Structure formats: C-alpha cells, structure tokens
Chains A and B, each alone.
Chain A
Amino acid sequence: MNSKISVFQFYSILLLTRLLITLTYTPAYTKDITASDMIFQTVLRLVFGIIITVPVFWLNKKYGIERRDKKSTFNKIKAIIFSAVFFYFSVTTVSRLDLFAGTVVFPETDVKFLLLLVVAFCAYGAYLGIEPIARSAVLFIIPVLMSLAFICLMLVKKVDLLNLTPLFYNGALPVFKTALNAVGRTVEYAVIAVSFPFVTGNSKKGFFIWMAVQTLLTAVIFFFEGTILGAFSRMQLFPVYTIASIAQCLFFRGLGTLITGMWILCAFLKISLLIFLQSKLISEAFGVKKTVVTVTVAVLLSAVCLFVSGSVARFNFLDTSYIKFVLIILSVPVLAIAELIGERAKKCVKQ
C-alpha cells in the first residue's frame, strides 16, 4: 500500500509532535539558563535545525526520492539505523507520558495499564497507515492550537516582565547547549529524512513554514513560562503544565486538564507515527510483513517501557540528551552526507 499525504498534513503531524516536546520539557535539561535565554535559544535551535537538515534536502533535490533499490545493503543499514532511532524516541515518549501521568494526573495510581493501552492503540493507529494519522493530525491541530491560545489568553494578566532576565547572564555556552539539546530531542528531523517517498507537494516550503511556526509557538510558551513563574519554573518537573494550572477561567481552578488532553493527543500521534515508520522501513528493506513488524515493535516497546516505568533513575538514564543528540546527528546529516558521497562516487564510476 503506497498511500501518500500532502505537505500540509505531514507538517501538521510534525507540528503536533514537536509541540509535545515543548509541553513536556523539563528544566533539568536546561541548567544555568535563565528566562530570556530560554526564549532566545528558540531562534538558535531554528538555525541549528535548518543546518542539520540541509544535507537531507540537498540529497533529495539532487538524486530524487526513488534513487536506489530499497533492498540494497545501504538501504537495509539505513532502515536499521532509522528504526533504532524511532524506537528509542518511542520509548522516551511513552516513558515521559508515564512519568507525567504517574506524577501529575494519577499520582497515587499505578499507570502501567494506561501505558499498555496507549501503546496498543498507537500500534493500531500505525497499522492503519499514514493517511489516517495525517487526517487525525489535521483534525486535532485546530483544537490543540485553540486550547493553547486560550490558555495564553487567560495568562496575559499574570505576566510580570520583571521576571525576564539579562541575555547570556551565565554566558553564551548554556544557551548554545540548550539549543543543541533541543535539536537532539527533535526526532522530527529524522522523520523528515525518511518522509519524502510518501509526502506530495513542496516539502522545502512546508519545512520552513513548520520551522517558523513551531519556533514561534515554543517562544510564546517559554515567554509565558518565564514571565509568570520566574525562578519557580526551574523547580517544576513540568513547568508548562504548572503555568496552565495557574491559568483560571470562570469556575475552573486551573487549566492543566487542557494541557493533559493536548499532551495525550500529541503523544498518540507521535507514537503512532514512529511505529508506522519503523514498520514501513523494516518491511520495505527486509520484505517482512508490516503487521508482523508493527506487532513486534509494539510488544518490544511495551516491554521496555514497563521496565523503565519501575524507576525514575532508569528514565533519567534513557532520556540523556547526549544519546539523543548523537542519534539525531547520525541519522540526519551524517547519513545524508554519506549517501551524497556514495551517489557522487557512483556517478564518477559510471562516467
């Protein structure tokens, strides 16, 4: 089944999945960085994001999408690397959802059942294919963005600009580190690298619009977080949830529930997309049935997440920024550059 989706649908999925990272970010990854630096680093991560995806778009422009035998050795290695990356990010996404649910939503409850349920339905979503995932993203994007805008509107009165800080107060290094860390947490770059075969339309244009919109959204969220919570945000596990719970509307004492809803929707899409991509890559490269790969991935994912769920130390180890950064750099620019070199060498040999 070679189903295709439009650029708008594709980047709608990516906008929601990237939004999930912002909504669930934890200040522990952003040590020594102050409120204004947090806002500024969104611009830096935009630049870094564009830089690391240049080889991917260049490769696609120069050699096209259907340039090689899908069952070639290189493609098999590529499929394994990308699948490993997507599996790793699926595990961290499910585990983060588990941490959130276990800490904030149901603090007194064992959420393992919820975790298994989410993985099972994400696997089902992945089994249905990319088109339903894309349609769901387009359906979800309006309520998610409207909820976000509503929360921001309810928070405007609580903004205190004195909570802003001088830029680079602790030096430029923490800001660069945070921006690079954010790039490492953006699995969407790897998704873009393998998405060209099933996305129709001007992907480059869509990419720039997506980058601009997600940077703007992230900057707005960090602005509200920094100016409302100030130093308190550094002490929160999920500061974006905290600002939402501060927002009040009529008789609702806090809008944290809206964030929870957005989070679950975005997580559902992200995990479904990542499982779908793993099954697609592996089945195309090795000729295995998609259903078999999907079920295997879901079972493995559940097992690993259940293991991680038992201890926050395991989660912290798994969620290390350096591992994510290395994986993204390896799968996005390094692999694309290697392929570019390979294609060029092949061309030279032919000539």
Chain B
Amino acid sequence: MRKAVIILISLLCVGTMLNRNAFKEDISNKAVVQGVGIDINDDGTYSVTLEIINTENYSNADGTAKPVMNLHTLKGKTVSSAIKSAYMIDGKIPLLSQNRVIIIGKELTEKGIMPSLDFFIRDAENYPTVQIAAVEGKAEDFFKNASSETTVVSRNIEKILITSDEDTKVSSITLSELVNRFKSSGSSFYMPIISTFKEKDKQEVMSNGTAVFKDGKLVCDLNEEETSALNFLCNKARKGAVNFRFDDVPASISIIKSKVTRKVDFSSENPNFSVKIKLDADLAEMDCDTARNPSESDIKAMGKYAEEKIKYDIEALCNKLYSEKKVDAVGLSRLIYIYYPDKYREKEKNLSEIMTDSQYSVEVEICIRRIGQDYSS
C-alpha cells in the first residue's frame, strides 16, 4: 500500500507536469494581475484596467529600467470578457490568483456594482479575500495617476486596507464580507474610498473615507471621523488614535484594546439599540508646550473628552445613516434578525423605516492606562 501511495503521488506530479498546459503556460506566459479597476461606459459596456506585473526584460535597449508594472485597459460587454481579452495585447493569459484589489469607478458605484462582481465570485482563481475599494473618478484614471515605474499600486492599497485594524479612520472590506453584507444586512454595505496625493513629485495612495451602498448602489460618502465611528460600531476599531481637545489644545489617545457590545431591545413598538464601547488606551499626546505630568483629574477629564468625542461621532453617524440616508451599513438590523426573528419577519419589508424610528444609545468607557514617558511637572 505504501508503494501504491508513493507511486500515486509520483504519477500525479508527473501527470500534472505532462499536462498539455504545463509546457506552454509558464509564468512568463501569464499576465500576473495585481489589481483590477472597473468602470462602466455610457453604452453599458465595461472598461477594465489591469495592473499586471512586468515579467519581461527589466531594462530597455538603452539601459533605462522598464516599469515594474504594466497597465492595460480593456473593454468588454462583461467584466470577464474584458479581462480575458487581455491576451490580445501581448499574448498573455491573465492570472487572477495574485489579484490584490478591485477598484470601482465612481460612475459604476452610482449605477450598481453587484453585476460587475459576479465574475470574481464565480472564478475559482480569484481569492475571496481580495480587497474592494472605490475611487472618486474613473478607476482607469486612478491607476494611471498612481502608477510609477517602481511601485505596485495595488499592493500598496492592499497593505493600507489590510492594516486598517491599526487605524480607526480606515475602513476595509473583502469580497466575501461584501457579498455576505449584501445578502444579509438589508442589502447594505460599505467600502473604503481610495485617492492619490502628491508627495515629493511622487504619487502616493491613501484611504480617505468610506462609500456606503444600498442595493449595490452608492448612497453617500463618509468622511474620516464618520469612518472612525463606523469602525467602532462594526467592532472593527481595534487600534488607532482618538483626537479631541483638552484645555483648548489638541490631544490624542491611542487605543490598545477595544470591546464593543451591541444589543437590541425590541419589547416596545420600535427597537432600541444600545452600543457599549470599552476602550483601554494610552495617552499619546497632550499640551506639549507646557509639558507636564497630568493629574488624576486631568486623566479622568481627558478620558471623558475622548468618550464624548466618540459618542458624538457615533450618534451623528447613526443619525446620518439611519435617519437621513435610510441605510443600514453597520448591520444593526442583523441584531433584530438574531434576537427577534418573528418581529424581523413581520417587519422585513419596511426595515429601513423601522431603523429610522429606532432609538440609538451609545455608551463609551475609556480607561487611560499609561501616560507616556513625560513626567516633568
């Protein structure tokens, strides 16, 4: 039997190598896609921009370096047909298993993004962990602006989004999370907005807010503070800074640990949502002009200021999302589904009205653990 297993494994390896595709499709014959940008055209067709690793010669004939990445923009009636037509440019078949990010253009976010994501859900090469983000203009223009000869834009974006746990002001969502939210949280979800900025003659990328969607269409944008509140509400604000004013000067604490408890009480006519946030934080910065050792009352006061700031931001976000825009990007309606399934079933059709009429109470408790090294008095 042992012999049989060894022979089987050996033959599987040989068989795979002898496969008709093995010889002709080595990595240099593949277009290794690192990022995909999707735009919709006026005629309803898609423009797909692929950021592809340059696997050819690394320098031109004159000795100058070739860019690390190639950008190809392709058109097609569907996203898949546009991507697959990439081979017509240089004869290379696109490989999506290394795709890091899908960038959606503004116009497509307004028209509805779900049909354009279907290919990525179906395609076995594409990972469900691929990050999704929106841009203000066209995805094609974004890639053109952000790309340079030495950087892989998609990897930079992925790094920024993956480390969103470290910064409350950055949101992130993967393909599987997005689809899950779309299917289960009143068809609402969110995604980060990515933009470019110039630093020392070089274009860099950054996340500057969040786009909120309902039924696959863009509803509103959230600024950095609203994004921070969204992360707290979604229990995704693990680390990061909270800025507030203390003694009329800017101060900041950095979160070490956070615990968010979300509850719903639907015993009365309208649900009452309560969010309790417990944070352990370090004092990161305070009045540095008159550097001093904060007294116990100062520490308490700073904690209180930070608590009020978070509370204010969250209440403002709830008001914006649930009262003004009538969208449940946070997924609080899921609590009704879990704890009050009968009421959820009864009111499923007019859930957005129920969420608008709901009460939202926020309680924040911050414990400042350390005050840093400045003990001068």
Residues of A within 8 A of B (CB): 103-104, 106-110, 113-114, 117-118, 121, 124-125, 128, 132-133, 135-136, 162-166, 169, 229-232, 234-235, 242, 245-246, 248, 253-254, 268
CA separation between A187 and B176, bound complex, in Å?
Answer: 33
- Residues of chain B within 8 A (CB-CB) of A254 are 127, 129
CA separation between A108 and B96, bound complex, in Å?
Answer: 13
Taking the closest CB of chain B, its distance from the CB of A227, in whole angstroms, is 11
Q: Are B179 and A166 in contact (CB under 8 A)?
A: no
- Nearest first, the 7 A-B pairs at minimum CB distance are A132-B1, A231-B183, A230-B180, A166-B341, A121-B8, A231-B184, A232-B176
- Residues of chain A within 8 A (CB-CB) of B180 are 163, 229-232
Q: Are A103 and B4 in contact (CB under 8 A)?
A: no
CA separation between A219 and B345, bound complex, in Å?
Answer: 27
Give which listed residue, B21, B129, B179, B331, contacts A162 with CB less than 8 A: B331
Name A136's closest neighbour in chain B (CB-CB): B1
B15 CB–A CB distance under 8 Å: yes
- Residues of chain B within 8 A (CB-CB) of A268 are 5, 8
Give which listed residue, B5, B125, B128, contacts A242 with CB less than 8 A: B128
Name A114's closest neighbour in chain B (CB-CB): B15
Give which listed residue, B4, B124, B341, contacts A104 with CB less than 8 A: B124
CA separation between A169 and B338, bound complex, in Å?
Answer: 9
- What are 16 A-to-B residue pairs whose CB atoms are below 8 Å? A104-B124, A117-B11, A121-B11, A128-B4, A136-B1, A162-B331, A162-B334, A163-B184, A166-B338, A166-B339, A229-B176, A232-B179, A235-B183, A242-B128, A245-B129, A246-B176
- Residues of chain A within 8 A (CB-CB) of B15 are 113-114, 117
Taking the closest CB of chain B, its distance from the CB of A126, in whole angstroms, is 10
Name A132's closest neighbour in chain B (CB-CB): B1
Q: Are A103 and B124 in contact (CB under 8 A)?
A: yes
Within 8 A of A (CB), among B322-360: 331, 334-335, 337-339, 341, 345
Q: Are B337 and A135 in contact (CB under 8 A)?
A: no
Q: Are B5 and A136 in contact (CB under 8 A)?
A: yes
- Residues of chain B within 8 A (CB-CB) of A128 are 1, 4
CA separation between A121 and B1, bound complex, in Å?
Answer: 10
- Residues of chain B within 8 A (CB-CB) of A245 are 127-129
Q: Are B127 and A162 in contact (CB under 8 A)?
A: no
- Residues of chain A within 8 A (CB-CB) of B341 are 166, 169
CA separation between A107 and B11, bound complex, in Å?
Answer: 20
Give which listed residue, A108, A133, A162, A230, contacts B183 with CB less than 8 A: A230
B316 CB–A CB distance under 8 Å: no
B12 CB–A CB distance under 8 Å: yes
B65 CB–A CB distance under 8 Å: no
Q: Are A124 and B176 in contact (CB under 8 A)?
A: no
B291 CB–A CB distance under 8 Å: no
Within 8 A of A (CB), among B5-26: 5, 7-8, 11-12, 15-16, 19-21, 25
Q: Are B337 and A232 in contact (CB under 8 A)?
A: no
B121 CB–A CB distance under 8 Å: yes
Within 8 A of A (CB), among B32-85: none
CA separation between A310 and B301, bound complex, in Å?
Answer: 72
Q: Are A165 and B21 in contact (CB under 8 A)?
A: no
Name A129's closest neighbour in chain B (CB-CB): B1
Interface of B is mostly: helix
A162-B334, A254-B127 known; 14 new pairs, CB 8 Å cut-off, are A106-B16, A108-B25, A109-B19, A109-B21, A117-B11, A121-B4, A121-B11, A132-B1, A163-B184, A166-B337, A169-B341, A230-B183, A235-B183, A246-B128
CA separation between A136 and B1, bound complex, in Å?
Answer: 7
- Residues of chain A within 8 A (CB-CB) of B339 are 166
CA separation between A163 and B333, bound complex, in Å?
Answer: 12
CA separation between A254 and B20, bound complex, in Å?
Answer: 27
Taking the closest CB of chain B, its distance from the CB of A96, in whole angstroms, is 15
- Residues of chain B within 8 A (CB-CB) of A121 are 4, 7-8, 11
- Residues of chain B within 8 A (CB-CB) of A230 are 180, 183-184
Name B121's closest neighbour in chain A (CB-CB): A235
- Residues of chain B within 8 A (CB-CB) of A165 are 337-338
Give which listed residue, B20, B25, B125, contacts A107 with CB less than 8 A: B125
Q: Are A117 and B12 in contact (CB under 8 A)?
A: yes
- Residues of chain B within 8 A (CB-CB) of A118 are 8
Which one of B11, B125, B182 has the greatest number of beta carbons of chain A within 10 Å?
B11
CA separation between A242 and B179, bound complex, in Å?
Answer: 14
Q: Are A232 and B12 in contact (CB under 8 A)?
A: no
Name B18's closest neighbour in chain A (CB-CB): A113
Taking the closest CB of chain A, its distance from the CB of B99, in whole angstroms, is 11
Name A107's closest neighbour in chain B (CB-CB): B124
Taking the closest CB of chain B, its distance from the CB of A17, in whole angstroms, is 16
- Residues of chain B within 8 A (CB-CB) of A234 are 183
- Residues of chain A within 8 A (CB-CB) of B337 are 165-166
Taking the closest CB of chain B, its distance from the CB of A142, in whole angstroms, is 15
CA separation between A307 and B338, bound complex, in Å?
Answer: 46
- Residues of chain A within 8 A (CB-CB) of B184 are 163, 230-231
- Residues of chain A within 8 A (CB-CB) of B1 are 125, 128, 132-133, 135-136
CA separation between A15 and B25, bound complex, in Å?
Answer: 39
Taking the closest CB of chain A, its distance from the CB of B23, in whole angstroms, is 12
Q: Are B11 and A124 in contact (CB under 8 A)?
A: no
- Residues of chain B within 8 A (CB-CB) of A246 are 128-129, 176
Taking the closest CB of chain B, its distance from the CB of A105, in whole angstroms, is 8
Name A241's closest neighbour in chain B (CB-CB): B124
Contact with A along B205-240 (1 / 0, CB 8 A): 000000000000000000000000000000000000
CA separation between A125 and B6, bound complex, in Å?
Answer: 12
CA separation between A229 and B174, bound complex, in Å?
Answer: 11
Which one of B121, B129, B331 has the greatest number of beta carbons of chain A within 10 Å?
B129
Within 8 A of A (CB), among B115-138: 121, 124-125, 127-129
Within 8 A of A (CB), among B303-332: 331
Q: Are A231 and B19 in contact (CB under 8 A)?
A: no
Q: Are B127 and A253 in contact (CB under 8 A)?
A: yes
CA separation between A103 and B122, bound complex, in Å?
Answer: 10
- Residues of chain A within 8 A (CB-CB) of B183 are 230-232, 234-235
